């Protein structure tokens, strides 16, 4: 092997695309409700942030827009580098199943199905075969420390356990981005703390986590707080570092 005496090329520092990039996003509903009024937000890979604001300030609308469940009225939405407005419905479903996990206040579990099935069903659209769906579901339930509740149905689980099943369902798809809308809103304080601990743990393992909450105490426990009022961002602390691009 011959060694070149010239300096090796300096590798370019490639910044990964932000996980979320909203530019001047508005969302209006019929009847003149302006739920989002020109929102710009960048979320980098690995962040753990709160979107916090009073009821009716546009937080859930924001989650639906970031999660590509709803299209904005105007502005651009990029998720995992994709310009969402340019994707077909089928491409959006694929984007969601590959990149985004959802957790909702009221769990959204199927009543007649046990914990493994509830989690495994979340992988249906990711094109995962049945056996692997169930294996991954069990692993995800172990990860949220519900290995002892695999065949329990929602009615046989506490609120905190139901939310952990919902988190397992979200993480079974190995999302880059986890969107949680008031994940502790229906839970007692102790169960809520367990859920928040889990979200911290998933973030530490590499998932970008966005928690939507009206609860200032929960928001203040997270490293970044994006504060909403009347469909606008009124503060973002610590302020997002300016990207060099």
Cβ-based neighbour number of residue 224 at 10 Å:
18
What letters, b where the CB count within 10 A reaches 16 and e where it falls short, cover 137-163?
Answer: bbebbebbebeebbebbbeebebbbbb
Shortest separation between residue 245's beta carbon and ligand ADP, angstroms: 30
67 binds, among Mg ion, ligand ADP, none (CB under 5 to 8 A by kind): none
Q: Which is nearer to ligand ADP, 61 or 97 (CB)?
A: 61
Measured distance CA(19)–CA(177) in Å, rounded:
7
Q: Cα 137–142–145 angle (5° rounding)?
A: 130
**Interface with Mg ion, residue 213, by CB under 5 A:** no
Q: What is the nearest approach in angstroms of ligand ADP to the Cβ of residue 54?
A: 7
- Transcribe 41-79 into DSSP letters: EEE-TT-EEEEE--TTSSHHHHHHHHTTSS--SEEEEEE
Q: Which of Mg ion, ligand ADP, none does residue 162 bind to, with CB < 5 to 8 Å depending on kind?
A: none
When CB distances are held under 5 to 8 angstroms depending on the partner's kind, the choice from Mg ion, ligand ADP, none that residue 128 binds is: none
Residue 57 touches which member of ligand ADP, Mg ion, none, C-beta under 5-8 Å by kind:
ligand ADP
- In the bound complex, what is the minimum distance in angstroms from residue 105's beta carbon to ligand ADP? 10
The sheet carrying 177-181 orders its strands as 100-104, 177-181, 208-213, 48-52, 224-229, 232-237
When the beta carbons of 49 and 141 are compared against ligand ADP, the nearer one is 49
Nearest 5°: the CA angle 178, 190, 139 is: 45
Residue 33 contact, options ligand ADP, Mg ion, none, Cβ 5-8 Å cut-off depending on partner type = ligand ADP
Q: How many residues bind Mg ion (CB under 5 A)?
A: 2
Residue 113 makes CB contacts below 8 A (sequence gap 6+) with 121, 153
Q: What are phi and psi of 182, to 5 degrees?
A: 50, 55
Judged by CB under 5 A, the chain residues 54 through 93 that form the site for Mg ion are: 59-60
Q: Which residues bind ligand ADP (CB under 6 A)?
A: 29, 33, 35, 53, 55-61
For the CB of residue 244, give the shortest distance to Mg ion in the complex, in Å.
34
Minimum CB–partner distance for residue 162 and Mg ion (Å): 19
Binding site for Mg ion (CB under 5 A): 59-60
């Amino acid at each position: 092997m011959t060694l070149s005496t010239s300096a090796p090329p300096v590798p370019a520092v490639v910044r990964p695309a932000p996980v979320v990039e909203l530019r001047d996003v508005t969302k209006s509903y019929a009847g003149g409700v302006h739920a989002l009024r020109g929102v710009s937000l960048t979320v980098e890979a690995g962040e753990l942030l709160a979107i916090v604001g009073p009821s009716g300030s546009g937080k859930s609308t924001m989650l639906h827009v970031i999660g590509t469940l709803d299209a904005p009225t105007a502005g651009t939405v990029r998720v995992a580098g994709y310009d969402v407005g340019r994707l077909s419905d089928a491409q959006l479903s694929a984007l969601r199943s590959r990149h985004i996990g959802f957790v909702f206040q009221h769990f959204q579990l199927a009543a007649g199905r046990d914990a493994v099935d509830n989690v495994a069903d979340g992988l249906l659209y990711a094109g995962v075969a049945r056996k692997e769906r169930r294996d991954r579901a069990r692993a995800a339930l172990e990860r949220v420390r519900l290995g002892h509740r695999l065949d329990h149905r929602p009615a046989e689980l506490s609120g905190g356990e139901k939310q952990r099943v919902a988190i397992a369902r979200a993480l079974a798809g190995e999302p880059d981005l986890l969107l949680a809308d008031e994940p502790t809103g229906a839970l007692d304080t102790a169960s809520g703390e367990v859920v928040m601990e889990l979200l911290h743990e998933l973030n530490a393992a590499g998932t970008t986590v966005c928690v939507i909450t009206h609860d200032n105490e929960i928001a203040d426990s997270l490293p970044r707080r994006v504060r909403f009022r009347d469909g606008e961002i009124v503060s973002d602390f610590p302020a997002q570092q300016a990207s060099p691009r």
